[in-house]
């Protein structure tokens, strides 16, 4: 991934040095277990521990000749270790090293993403509590619907972020799998006990039934979870973008001192951070398709998946990390304009209370179809600019006869629409909030 969308921790995790270091971790873990098994002499293991290392430039040089990165890696390590290197890669196939090492790095990347979700949850909870009673209009199909609160938006995003945390935690366990089972997964040269001991050292589990590789349905599922996470961030970003439109302007992402929104229009304050998140989410979602294509490998393995994974795994985890950080920053510094929300509530001149009137009329004994016709007729007149919804209804004899004694006025109280917000909060955040 390009530097623009890469945070330094993820850059280090997916660097070439980190990739080769993880390979070395696997090779050393196998040697340690083989020492316990009596296959590698202790004195040779001592030399391996002391000298095992690699030279990235030398690996590139060797690979240019042999055309095989793992062979080039093992050769470079052997040059560092000397004669004791004959024990390195003993009984292994390349995928024993590569797949197991990839699992190690995916787990580490996932832990970073989980930390990012935790940070976002903290901000979402804070904002939800702060704006529990910040009344605004709820919109469906982009059209004003009924009174809502900004806090409920935050609460909804909070609940979704919790589900993303649960999904990512579950798929972390599924992806934390490696193999030391040989060329076709039959343990032809090293027994299952070696694999079990190596995985214990590395904090992984052994693949249930491996071929030359760990089954790719695991990675496809993992990428799918990242796709959902990215889409959740896109959902938040898209909502803020809509609410920041000039004709809405109910919230606005942070605009720092000295920032400029356009090379030609000095007045512009664009939601570029949220647009950025929406765009990057498309990349992560597209990578899910590539991961699905990798599931159906030939026989016990072909290498068609390898080139794909070298791109989609680092890129998707790196982008999700970047998006989480960016979205958390936007949410934490979000500008909120309650006065504008109140102004926008009045744009449709009371139409947001139409269902309350409809239900009040039916509760009075009027047939629903008749009540619907009366309410809709006056609503259409309001849309046409003939007057406010409340004024037109108040002049309708059928409404006045059905709703005497203050019942008509009660239909236009926003509080009635929000009477159960506390229940939603208790269900979302637990206990009294």
Residue 77 is part of which domain span? 1-90
196 domain-assigned: no
420 domain-assigned: no
Q: Is 94 a catalytic residue?
A: no
Mean pLDDT of 104-116: 99
Mean pLDDT of 113-133: 98
Reduced to 3 states, what is the DSSP secondary structure of residue 176?
coil
Q: How many domains does the chain have?
A: 3
Reduced to 3 states, what is the DSSP secondary structure of residue 119?
helix
Which string of DSSP letters, residue by residue, matches 55-81?
A: -HHHHHHHHHHH--HHHHHHHHHHHHH
Residues 326, 272, single domain; the answer is yes
Point out the domain boundary residue: 63, 90, 117: 90
Q: Which two tokens stand for residue 387?
A: 């007057």
Mean pLDDT of 227-236: 99
Q: If we measure between CA atoms, which residue out of 255, 286, 322, 360 comes closest to residue 113?
A: 322
| Residue pLDDT, tens place only, 65-75 | 999 999 999 99
Residues 115, 78, single domain; the answer is no
| Residue pLDDT, tens place only, 155-167 | 999 999 999 999 9
Q: Is 262 a catalytic residue?
A: yes
305 domain-assigned: yes
Phi, psi of 138 (to 5 degrees): -85, 145
Question: 10 Å Cβ neighbour count for 148?
Answer: 22
| Residue pLDDT, tens place only, 10-57 | 999 999 999 999 999 999 999 999 999 999 999 999 999 999 999 999
Q: What is the pLDDT of residue 266?
A: 87
Question: For the chain, how many residues are written?
Answer: 433
Give the separation between CA 268 and CA 263, rounded to whole angstroms: 9
- Inform me whether the pLDDT recorded for 59 exceeds 70: yes
The answer to whether the beta carbons of residues 179 and 131 sit under 8 Å apart is no
Q: What is the pLDDT of residue 169?
A: 99
Give the separation between CA 107 and CA 13, rounded to whole angstroms: 11
- Inform me whether the pLDDT recorded for 310 exceeds 90: yes
> Of the residues 141, 267, 299, 420, which is catalytic?
141
CATH number assigned to the domain comprising residue 246:
1.20.200.10
Q: If we measure between CA atoms, which residue out of 70, 306, 294, 100 comes closest to residue 206?
A: 100
Residues 102, 77, single domain; the answer is no
> Of the residues 15, 262, 304, 307, which is catalytic?
262
| Residue pLDDT, tens place only, 235-272 | 999 999 999 999 999 999 998 888 888 888 888 899 99
Share of the chain above pLDDT 70, in %: 100
Give the separation between CA 423 and CA 431, rounded to whole angstroms: 9
Which string of DSSP letters, residue by residue, matches 353-395?
A: GHHHHHHHHHHTT--HHHHHHHHHHHHHHHHTTSS-HHHHHHT
Phi, psi of 319 (to 5 degrees): -65, -40
382 domain-assigned: yes
Residues 156, 101, single domain; the answer is yes
Reduced to 3 states, what is the DSSP secondary structure of residue 37?
coil
Q: Which two tokens stand for residue 36?
A: 């316990």
Q: What is the pLDDT of residue 48?
A: 98
Q: What is the pLDDT of residue 292?
A: 98
Point out the domain boundary residue: 73, 90, 107: 90
387 domain-assigned: yes
The answer to whether the beta carbons of residues 92 and 33 sit under 8 Å apart is no
CATH number assigned to the domain comprising residue 44:
1.10.275.10
The answer to whether the beta carbons of residues 342 and 28 sit under 8 Å apart is no
197 domain-assigned: no
């Amino acid at each position: 991934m390009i530097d623009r969308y890469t945070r330094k921790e993820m850059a280090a995790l997916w660097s070439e040095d980190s990739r080769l270091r993880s390979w070395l971790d696997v090779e050393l873990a196998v040697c340690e277990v083989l020492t316990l098994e009596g296959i590698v002499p202790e004195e040779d293991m001592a030399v391996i521990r002391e000298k095992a290392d690699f030279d990235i430039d030398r690996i590139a040089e060797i690979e240019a000749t042999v055309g095989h990165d793992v062979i080039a890696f093992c050769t470079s390590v052997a040059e560092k270790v000397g004669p004791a290197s004959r024990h390195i890669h003993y009984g292994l196939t390349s995928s024993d090293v590569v797949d197991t090492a990839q699992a190690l790095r995916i787990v580490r990347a996932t832990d970073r993403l989980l930390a990012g979700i935790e940070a976002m949850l903290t901000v979402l909870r804070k904002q939800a509590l702060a704006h529990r009673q910040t009344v605004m209009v709820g919109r469906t199909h982009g059209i004003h619907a009924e009174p809502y609160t900004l806090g409920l938006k935050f609460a909804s995003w909070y609940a979704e972020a919790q589900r993303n945390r649960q999904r990512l935690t579950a798929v972390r366990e599924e992806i934390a799998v490696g193999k030391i089972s040989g060329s076709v997964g039959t343990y032809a040269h090293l027994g299952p006990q070696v694999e079990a001991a190596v995985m214990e050292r590395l904090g992984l589990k052994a693949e249930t039934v491996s071929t030359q590789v760990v089954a790719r349905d695991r990675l496809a599922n993992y990428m799918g979870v990242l796709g959902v996470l990215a889409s959740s961030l896109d959902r938040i970003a898209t909502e803020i973008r809509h609410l920041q439109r000039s004709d809405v302007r109910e919230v606005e992402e942070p605009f720092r001192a000295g920032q400029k929104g356009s090379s030609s229009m000095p007045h512009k304050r664009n939601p570029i951070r949220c647009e950025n998140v929406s765009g990057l989410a498309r990349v992560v979602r597209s990578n899910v398709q590539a991961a699905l294509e990798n599931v159906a490998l030939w026989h016990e393995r072909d290498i068609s998946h390898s080139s794909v994974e070298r791109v989609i795994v680092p890129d998707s985890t790196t982008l999700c990390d970047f998006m989480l950080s960016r979205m958390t920053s936007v949410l934490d510094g979000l500008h909120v304009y309650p006065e504008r929300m109140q102004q926008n509530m009045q744009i449709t001149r009371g139409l947001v209370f139409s269902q309350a009137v409809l239900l009040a009329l039916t509760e009075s004994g009027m047939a629903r179809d008749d009540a619907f016709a009366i309410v809709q007729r006056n609503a259409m007149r309001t849309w046409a600019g003939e007057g406010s919804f409340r004024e037109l209804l108040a002049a309708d004899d059928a409404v006045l006869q059905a709703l005497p004694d203050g019942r008509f006025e009660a239909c236009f109280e926003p509080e009635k629409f929000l009477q159960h917000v506390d229940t939603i909060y208790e269900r979302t955040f637990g206990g009294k909030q």
